[in-house]
Structure 1
Amino acid sequence: MNRLLFERSTGLLSPQAFARIQTTGLIHAIQPCPKLRFDGGEKEVAITDDEPGESSLGTVETKLWAHQAGVNALALDIDSRILLSGGLDSSIKLWDLADCLEGLKCVLKPTALISRAASAHKYGVTHLSFYPFDSAAFLSSSYDHHLKLYATETQEVSADFDLQSIVYTHTLSPIAQHLLVACATQHPAVRLVDLRSGASTHSLAGHHGALLSLAWSPKLDHILASGGVDGTVRIWDIRKSSGALGLLDMEDSTGITGTDGMGKNARSRDAGKAHQGAVNGITWTDDGDYIVTAGHDERVRVWNAATCSNTLASFGPTLKNGHLSNLPLVMSPTASTPVGQEVFFYPSEKELLMFDLHEGRLLKRLKVPGPNMASVRSRTGERNVKNRITGLVFRGQADGVYSAHTDGQIRAWLPKTAEDAKLDKEEEDSHKRHAEDDEDEEGRKKRRVLDDVFRDLTRQKISFG
């Protein structure tokens, strides 16, 4: 660190390079942070048995959940401060991450709640997203076939769209002037909803079966990628009447020559599959140069967005993916790491895997804390579910990752450097010393009392009549 500061002060290292070295180190230092917990207010108090030989009746153990029925979705606003969570019980909660001081043990409580009511969803929330340019509004979709627009401050519904089919996910363009929301539903066509007019403008037909994943290009506001249960990933230009630009083909490592990313002067491709199973995960790098897809064949593929070619990056046999729902895929911002060294986060059931995006090299394997099976409560009663990651968001440039889980928890994965670990160890040792000192003082007090009692007894004269 001292060497970096010296090189920065002498001009040998540019401010941008210095910042990337720092943020890269923080990203690679991400690990579970049990100090930060989310308490949604749904508590269950259980009496646990004491250790054998103890005389008390029991101890009270309080469990905390963000959503007791399970958490289905997460979203962060543009300031990376307000976290949205959507539950299987259809509730939506808002959390202010600024309420928790870094490095301190903290239990966050929701700042607002949208419960099961007439204006809320009837069934579980499937996806959440903030408006890209303003955190004053957010969107939610649900198994109840509805897409809803809320005001963040009042939590009131501003618009409600009935798509007459289960909505697995939705997405807004991060750069577009238009207000089109692309929705992936049980219907085999991409549904486009215009928030400005309040109408479903048109559909993009071509898939054979339900759609599970969608992602807008972060570079071109009219380009959209979609993935479905038919194993295909289609690229669309929403300005065209037909819409289709082509398909991603896992057998093609050369790509479509002559394309400029806008479908001009390129040969078309109307056959081919991106995965051998359903495609339930799609995302772009934030510079728009690469598309990343995941499928039920338990493979992740990275595609050159300009040529639509398979880069042949191999992520190994550790991936797990088999649920009929949208799989959240997250990457570190391109500005946070050196060029071509983005970190890819993959939710593999009970693990959060960190990969080098372009090499497919496994960087870190983080196990989700807690049991593999969890007991959750829903409208139909209590049941056991397999604990897995259902939502994932990356905060800021290198401020960590937040994950949603079927056991009802929201978990934080924050950077912890060697310096942080050293400070925690010193703090723990300090607490231990204080505890030992307190214990010794208590022992001394007890010994003094016993000594006083003994002296009092020995001073008394005992006579036998």
Structure 2
Amino acid sequence: MLGFLTARQAGLDDPLRLRRAEATRRVLCLKLNPDRDVDRIHGNGINTIDIEAVEGRYMLSGGADGVIVIYDLENFSGKLQYTCKAVCTVGRSSRYVHKFSVETVQWYPYDTGMFVSSSFDKTMKVWDTETLKPAEVFEFEDNVYNHHLSPIARKHGLIAVGTKNPKVQLCDLKSGSRIQVLQGHRAEVLSVRWSPRYEYILATASADSKVKVWDVRRASGSLFTLDQHNGDKSKASAEAVNTAHNGRVNGLCFTGDGLYLLTTGTDDRMRLWNSATGENTLVNYGKVCNESRKRLQFTVSRGCSPEFVFVPCGSSVAVYALHTGELVTMLRGHYNNVDCCEFHPDYQELYSGGKDCNILAWVPVLRAADVEEESNRENKGATGQSTVNPAFQDAWSSDED
């Protein structure tokens, strides 16, 4: 790292490479932080969390108890040890609280003054953050598993909604009504995700083992359906043609640049797809334990080289190298199954929530021995390499070339 700093100071190196190297090193050093707690508010398991992208300061959580909590992640105490306080709560005493389990919470991408929640009470609510009252309520005929707002859309205000009904619902924030239905799945839609690259591209995952990619401007159906066998019918059984997994597909996540799509299924597999062509890249992540019957919220790092995937796996969070499938580490600290995790790209921190009602903060911790070892290596001329995980030395080197 000292070599990167020296080269940057002398104007010999691109500052982006320094940023990537430091971001990668921080992710490889993630540990459970004993000095940081998050207020324990939920009386039941935590299904979903989201960190707003405007300031990177506030975090939402939704639980199986129907409660929604907003936390302030900033430390203004001046002390090393502190607790991320709950600044406001939509609790059981509120007349507007969801009657059943909250499955998804999401900040409005451009403003912290609004957020959206959806629940098994068959409603999706658009909240005014200041008053903690719903500005709009969308009612459905079935349980809502997941919803998603596009992080980049400027020309539309559509919210994609996956319910127990196989039809994907598109709700318009501007008009407050459901304006479109996407038909193609044959079972409940467990996860929906807008592309972070193209504002009209949407991916949907279902219990019918299929993942479909849509251009919502087209009325003729989906663009394509992901096929784990890449069209090789000799490898697929008659009932497994054009399936992404051999089980329920309950997790979707685009990479930060939108070029790749990750899926998880109850067949204990995770797959990486080219989002433009729908091709299975055949990266082998091994067995990725997945016992959830509902949506599984996992996340991808941003700004690293290589990038990493954080996936709930039992009572741990598994960290994989995105393009090689290598299991880097297991983050252990929860007492029960982990249901959701969210990556904070500004500080390379990870937050995870689970059935133990806890939200844990995983932060970069570089040990004194690692610092000394890196310093010695820098003095020998081996600059810009991670001291944490020797398995990634080649990846660091290739990034520098």
- What is the aligned partner in structure 2 of residue 309 from structure 1? 279
- What is the aligned partner in structure 1 of residue 30 from structure 2? 30
Whether 2:360 is the aligned partner of 1:411: answer yes
SS at match of 2:6: helix
Deviation, structure 1 residue 220: 1.1
Whether 2:114 is the aligned partner of 1:141: answer no
Spell out, residue by residue over 1:158-194, the C-alpha distance to the aligned partner (whole angstroms, 9 max, x if none): 0001012111110011111211100111000111111
Native 8 Å contact 1:253 1:309 kept in 2: no
The 5 A counterparts of 1:380-459 are 387-419=336-368
TM-score if structure 2 supplies the norm length?
0.86
The 5 A counterparts of 1:335-350 are 336-338=303-305, 341-350=306-315
Whether 2:331 is the aligned partner of 1:366: answer yes
The 5 A counterparts of 1:244-323 are 244-252=222-230, 272-317=242-287, 319-323=288-292
Native 8 Å contact 1:66 1:410 kept in 2: no
- What is the aligned partner in structure 2 of residue 68 from structure 1? 43
Deviation, structure 1 residue 218: 1.1
1:72 maps to a residue whose letter is N
Whether 2:66 is the aligned partner of 1:99: answer no
Native 8 Å contact 1:86 1:125 kept in 2: yes
2:299 maps to a residue whose letter is V
1:202 maps to a residue whose letter is Q
How far apart, CA to CA, are the structure 1 residues paired with 2:30 and 2:100?
A: 34
Native 8 Å contact 2:143 2:163 kept in 1: yes
2:367 maps to a residue whose letter is A
Q: 1:411 to 1:421 in 2, by over 3 A?
A: farther
Native 8 Å contact 2:184 2:221 kept in 1: no
Spell out, residue by residue over 1:365-396, the C-alpha distance to the aligned partner (whole angstroms, 9 max, x if none): 11124x4xxxxxxxxxxxxxxx1111211112
Native 8 Å contact 1:332 1:397 kept in 2: no
Q: 1:296 to 1:103 in 2, by over 3 A?
A: farther
Which structure is higher in RCO with an 8 Å CA cutoff and minimum separation 6? 2
How far apart, CA to CA, are the structure 2 residues paired with 1:101 and 1:18?
A: 30
Deviation, structure 1 residue 235: 0.8
Deviation, structure 1 residue 132: 1.0
Aligned-residue CA RMSD (Å):
2.0
1:93 maps to a residue whose letter is V
Deviation, structure 1 residue 420: 9.7
The 5 A counterparts of 1:151-162 are 151-162=128-139
Native 8 Å contact 1:253 1:311 kept in 2: no
- What is the aligned partner in structure 2 of residue 82 from structure 1? 58
Native 8 Å contact 2:32 2:361 kept in 1: yes
Native 8 Å contact 1:100 1:108 kept in 2: no
Q: Report % sequence identity.
A: 34
How far apart, CA to CA, are the structure 2 residues paired with 1:100 and 1:23?
A: 24
State which of 63, 73, 97 in structure 2 corresponds to 1:120. Answer: 97
How far apart, CA to CA, are the structure 2 residues paired with 1:188 and 1:279?
A: 13
Whether 2:146 is the aligned partner of 1:169: answer yes
Deviation, structure 1 residue 123: 0.8
Deviation, structure 1 residue 102: 8.5
Whether 2:294 is the aligned partner of 1:325: answer yes
Spell out, residue by residue over 1:1-33, the C-alpha distance to the aligned partner (whole angstroms, 9 max, x if none): 332222222233211111111111111111111
Spell out, residue by residue over 1:52-105, the C-alpha distance to the aligned partner (whole angstroms, 9 max, x if none): xxxxxxxxxxxxx33122222111111210011112111111110013668822
How far apart, CA to CA, are the structure 1 residues paired with 2:173 and 2:247?
A: 33
- What is the aligned partner in structure 1 of residue 107 from structure 2? 130
Q: 1:101 to 1:352 in 2, by over 3 A?
A: farther
Aligned residues: 362
2:136 maps to a residue whose letter is A
SS at match of 2:74: helix
SS at match of 2:86: coil
Spell out, residue by residue over 1:127-147, the C-alpha distance to the aligned partner (whole angstroms, 9 max, x if none): 000111111100000010000
SS at match of 1:8: helix
Q: 1:26 to 1:119 in 2, by over 3 A?
A: same
Which ranges of structure 1 fall in alignment gaps of 5 or more residues? 40-64, 255-269, 372-386, 424-465
Q: 1:253 to 1:345 in 2, by over 3 A?
A: farther
- What is the aligned partner in structure 2 of residue 43 from structure 1? none
Which ranges of structure 2 fall in alignment gaps of 5 or more residues? 233-239, 373-401
State which of 176, 196, 207 in structure 2 corresponds to 1:218. Answer: 196
Deviation, structure 1 residue 35: 2.1
TM-score if structure 1 supplies the norm length?
0.75
Spell out, residue by residue over 1:313-365, the C-alpha distance to the aligned partner (whole angstroms, 9 max, x if none): 00012x210211111121111xx123xx2111111011111111011011111
- What is the aligned partner in structure 2 of residue 187 from structure 1? 165
Native 8 Å contact 1:253 1:310 kept in 2: no
1:195 maps to a residue whose letter is L
Native 8 Å contact 2:214 2:223 kept in 1: yes
Q: 1:146 to 1:69 in 2, by over 3 A?
A: same
Native 8 Å contact 1:35 1:106 kept in 2: yes
- What is the aligned partner in structure 1 of residue 21 from structure 2? 21
Native 8 Å contact 2:105 2:115 kept in 1: yes
SS at match of 1:393: strand
How far apart, CA to CA, are the structure 2 residues paired with 1:327 and 1:102?
A: 36
